[in-house]
């Protein structure tokens, strides 16, 4: 089979790496890819949102399946365009990717289908928004309806702060058109986990759990980032909890989307809050998490290409409701450019990645990497490397990942040193 993966991050490196292991994968392309992906796939210089360019390339190469990594191309209808051209694609169509693209859609959908989530209101008028804030009190959560690169969510501790957030979003000052409408939500207190599922429009299979670390600093402090590390499985994930998540959230969603005439195919990524043991939906994403994908891919026991093909062809039932998973745990630590998530310099040389990978069970996925004119590896993005390790438990995997990181010679980068701390603490408490 000929496969084309869309995207250029660590998530896409992990996807390409798994697909390359499949015996039926004969030709593997990635648009646009990065320096790590180019070692195992043919990288083509087409932007992930260049729908026409991607369709033309896929037709030219007679690609069998296009696997879409990021949300932006999904939300502008890349899958629809490929299907119209007779090319199979893994990922939701535009009318299903709206689950991530519009928070207002997602909240109304949850209300209609009784899916547990935070209470909310939708607003385009500032006076109505303020009245809702007055009525509900603080803490309260203010969100842009549209995509805002993960930044359109503010948790407000005072009424003044909440007024200001609503005003800045609705006026367009903070996030442009993404804030034309806002969602104001009840604050949910609990611990977060990420839950993944793969759907074929009708049936859906659980696809692993993870926890990520969004803040830039140790101890979960500092600015929000795209994710500084993750581990899988999430420490609180039990078969009973997973069943509850499938029964109360994931299955009703896939059934509801079918009933709405928006069949959901692809990855459904639920950001969940565990509130006194009850899983509640914070948000849906229409794709794998990054860096969560990097810790889930190594744990999948089945052939990933088979699973993707089954999803695209509506055949997930063949797995009898369950995929195979390794009993090992995995962790990934992000190395980012100094200064990230603020401004940073590009082009600093990174050495000894291959030495880090010499440890058994360690794999380094690339994100913002490229080669300079001398063929040296350099940073070209904020998040740059994902040092990923597998172990008997999270503590073991964590030690390995940080051993491997010591080998990497990159003065221009940094990492957090406490990735997986919640799981390590839980493991230590269990052992005591
Ligand atoms: P989102 O982009 O919707 O996932 O929100 C980003 C982060 O804000 C989430 O990962 C949560 O940590 C937090 N958050 C969002 N909505 C709520 C809520 N209703 N209650 C508490 N925390 C929330
Ligand atoms: N790691 C969070 C995300 O991919 O949205």
Residue 122 is predicted with a pLDDT of 94
Binding-site residues, ligand 2, Cβ < 6 A? 212, 227, 285, 289-290, 292
> What percent of the chain has a predicted confidence (pLDDT) above 90?
94
Q: Which two tokens stand for residue 45?
A: 């210089």
- Region label for 293, one of left (φ > 0), alpha (ψ between -120 and 50) or beta (otherwise): alpha
Residues of the chain with CATH 3.30.1490.20: 119-186
- In which band, very low, low, confident or very high, does the pLDDT at 229 lie, cut at 50, 70 and 90? very high
- Region label for 7, one of left (φ > 0), alpha (ψ between -120 and 50) or beta (otherwise): left
Q: What separation in Å is there between the alpha carbon of 277 and the centre of ligand 1?
A: 17
Q: What separation in Å is there between the alpha carbon of 225 and the centre of ligand 2?
A: 9
Atom nearest to 150 CA in ligand 1: 2
Whether the per-residue pLDDT at 151 is higher than 90: the answer is no
pLDDT digits (tens, 9 = 90+) for 230-250: 999 999 999 999 999 999 999
Average pLDDT on 291-312 reads 98
Q: Rounded distance, CA 72 to CA 77, Å? A: 9
303 backbone dihedrals φ, ψ, rounded to 5°? -75, 120
Whether the per-residue pLDDT at 177 is higher than 90: the answer is no
Q: What separation in Å is there between the alpha carbon of 282 and the centre of ligand 1?
A: 6
Residues of the chain with CATH 3.40.50.20: 2-91
Average pLDDT on 287-308 reads 98
Q: Which CATH class is domain 329-431?
A: alpha beta
Residue 361 and residue 400 in contact, taking contact as beta carbons nearer than 8 Å? yes
How many alpha carbons lie under 13 Å from residue 3 in its C-beta half-sphere?
28
Average pLDDT on 390-414 reads 98
Q: Rounded distance, CA 412 to CA 140, Å? A: 38
The secondary structure of residue 401, as a DSSP letter, is H
- Region label for 59, one of left (φ > 0), alpha (ψ between -120 and 50) or beta (otherwise): alpha
pLDDT digits (tens, 9 = 90+) for 203-228: 999 999 999 999 999 999 998 899 99
Nearest ligand for residue 196 CA: 2
Q: Rounded distance, CA 98 to CA 340, Å? A: 29
Q: Rounded distance, CA 75 to CA 98, Å? A: 7
Whether the per-residue pLDDT at 193 is higher than 90: the answer is yes
299 backbone dihedrals φ, ψ, rounded to 5°? -95, -10
Q: Which two tokens stand for residue 96?
A: 């299903």
Nearest ligand for residue 153 CA: 1
pLDDT digits (tens, 9 = 90+) for 67-124: 999 999 999 999 999 999 999 999 999 999 999 999 999 999 999 999 999 999 999 9
Residue 152 is predicted with a pLDDT of 84
Q: What separation in Å is there between the alpha carbon of 26 and the centre of ligand 2?
A: 30
Q: Among residues 138, 192, 194, which one has the least CA distance to residue 165? A: 138
Atom nearest to 292 CA in ligand 2: 1
The model's pTM is 0.96
Q: What separation in Å is there between the alpha carbon of 52 and the centre of ligand 2?
A: 27
Q: What separation in Å is there between the alpha carbon of 170 and the centre of ligand 1?
A: 19
The secondary structure of residue 113, as a DSSP letter, is T
How many alpha carbons lie under 13 Å from residue 211 in its C-beta half-sphere?
22
Nearest ligand for residue 281 CA: 1
Which CATH architecture describes the domain 119-186?
Answer: 2-Layer Sandwich (3.30)
Q: Among residues 253, 386, 317, 311, which one has the least CA distance to residue 66? A: 311
Radius of gyration of the chain (CA): 21
Q: Rounded distance, CA 255 to CA 95, Å? A: 15
Atom 6 of ligand 1 has which residue's CA nearest to it?
A: 153
Q: Rounded distance, CA 305 to CA 284, Å? A: 24
Q: What separation in Å is there between the alpha carbon of 3 and the centre of ligand 1?
A: 35
- In which band, very low, low, confident or very high, does the pLDDT at 174 lie, cut at 50, 70 and 90? confident
Whether the per-residue pLDDT at 293 is higher than 80: the answer is yes
Atom 4 of ligand 2 has which residue's CA nearest to it?
A: 289
Atom nearest to 230 CA in ligand 2: 1
Q: Among residues 327, 295, 322, which one has the least CA distance to residue 307? A: 322
pLDDT digits (tens, 9 = 90+) for 334-393: 999 999 999 999 999 999 999 999 999 999 999 999 999 999 999 999 999 999 999 999
Binding-site residues, ligand 1, Cβ < 6 A? 118, 141, 150, 153, 155, 185, 187-188, 192, 271, 282-283
* Average pLDDT value for the chain: 96
Atom nearest to 187 CA in ligand 1: 20
Residues of the chain with CATH 3.90.600.10: 329-431
Residue 26: CB partners within 8 Å, gap ≥ 6? 1, 2
Q: Which two tokens stand for residue 338?
A: 């100094």
Whether the per-residue pLDDT at 149 is higher than 80: the answer is no
Atom 4 of ligand 1 has which residue's CA nearest to it?
A: 283
Q: What separation in Å is there between the alpha carbon of 226 and the centre of ligand 2?
A: 6
Q: Rounded distance, CA 18 to CA 33, Å? A: 15
Residue 298 and residue 326 in contact, taking contact as beta carbons nearer than 8 Å? yes
Atom 19 of ligand 1 has which residue's CA nearest to it?
A: 187
Cα of 372 vs its chain's centroid, Å: 29
Atom 5 of ligand 1 has which residue's CA nearest to it?
A: 153
Whether the per-residue pLDDT at 150 is higher than 80: the answer is no
- DSSP string for 349-384: B-B-HHHHTTSTTEEEEESSEEE-TTS-EEE-SSEE
Ligand 1, pocket-test mutation among 132, 271, 292, most atoms within 8 A of CB = 271
Residues forming beta bridges with residue 325, ordered by sequence position = 300
Q: What separation in Å is there between the alpha carbon of 427 and the centre of ligand 1?
A: 26
By DSSP bridging, strand 140-144 and strand 120-123 are unpaired
Atom nearest to 214 CA in ligand 1: 10
Residue 359 and residue 387 in contact, taking contact as beta carbons nearer than 8 Å? no
Nearest ligand for residue 267 CA: 2
Atom 5 of ligand 2 has which residue's CA nearest to it?
A: 289
Average pLDDT on 124-131 reads 96
Average pLDDT on 240-265 reads 98
The CATH code for residues 2-91 is: 3.40.50.20
Tokens 């909310």 sit at which residue?
120
Q: Among residues 420, 407, 384, which one has the least CA distance to residue 34? A: 384
Q: What separation in Å is there between the alpha carbon of 279 and the centre of ligand 2?
A: 18
Q: Rounded distance, CA 175 to CA 231, Å? A: 31
Strand order in the sheet with 182-186: 120-123, 182-186, 140-144, 153-156
DSSP H or E stretch at residue 122? strand 120-123
Place domain 191-319 in its CATH homologous superfamily: ATP-grasp fold, B domain (3.30.470.20)
Residue 175 is predicted with a pLDDT of 85
- In which band, very low, low, confident or very high, does the pLDDT at 54 lie, cut at 50, 70 and 90? very high
């Amino acid at each position: 089979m000929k496969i084309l993966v869309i995207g250029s991050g660590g998530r896409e490196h992990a996807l390409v790496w798994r697909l390359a292991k499949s015996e039926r994968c004969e030709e593997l392309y990635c648009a646009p890819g990065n320096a790590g992906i180019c070692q195992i796939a043919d990288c083509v210089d087409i932007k992930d949102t260049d729908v026409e360019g991607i369709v033309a390339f896929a037709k030219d190469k007679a690609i069998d399946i296009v696997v879409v990594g990021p949300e932006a191309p999904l939300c502008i209808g890349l899958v629809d365009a490929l299907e119209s051209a007779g090319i199979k694609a893994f990922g939701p169509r535009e009318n299903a990717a709206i689950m991530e693209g519009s928070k207002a859609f997602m909240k109304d959908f949850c209300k209609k289908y009784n899916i547990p989530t935070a209470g909310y209101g939708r607003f385009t008028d500032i006076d109505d928004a303020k009245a809702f804030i007055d009525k509900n009190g603080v803490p309260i959560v203010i969100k842009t309806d549209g995509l805002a690169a993960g930044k359109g969510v503010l948790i407000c501790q005072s009424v003044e702060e909440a007024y200001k957030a609503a005003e800045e979003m609705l006026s367009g000052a903070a996030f442009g058109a993404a804030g034309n409408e806002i969602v104001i939500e009840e604050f949910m207190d609990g611990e977060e986990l990420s839950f993944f599922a793969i759907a074929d429009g009708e049936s859906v299979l659980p696809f692993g759990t993870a926890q990520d670390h969004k803040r830039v600093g140790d101890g979960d402090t500092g600015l929000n980032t795209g994710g500084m590390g993750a581990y899988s499985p999430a420490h609180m994930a039990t078969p009973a909890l997973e069943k509850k998540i499938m029964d109360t959230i994931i299955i009703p969603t896939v059934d509801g989307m079918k009933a709405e005439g928006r069949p959901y195919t692809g990855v459904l990524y639920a950001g969940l809050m565990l509130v006194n043991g009850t899983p509640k939906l914070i948000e849906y994403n229409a794709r794998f998490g990054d860096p969560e994908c990097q810790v889930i891919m190594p744990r999948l026991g089945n052939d990933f290409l088979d699973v993707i093909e089954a999803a695209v062809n509506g055949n997930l039932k063949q797995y009898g409701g369950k995929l195979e998973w390794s009993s090992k745990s995995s962790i990934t630590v992000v190395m980012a450019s100094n200064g990230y998530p603020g401004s940073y310099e590009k082009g600093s040389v990174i050495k000894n990645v291959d030495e880090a990978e010499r440890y058994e069970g360690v794999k380094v996925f690339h994100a913002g990497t490229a080669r300079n004119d001398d063929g040296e590896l350099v940073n070209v993005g904020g998040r740059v490397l994902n040092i990923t390790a597998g172990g008997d438990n999270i503590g073991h995997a964590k030690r390995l990942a940080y051993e491997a990181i010591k080998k990497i010679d990159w003065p221009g980068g940094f990492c957090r040193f406490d990735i997986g701390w919640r799981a390590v603490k839980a493991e230590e408490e269990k052992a005591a």
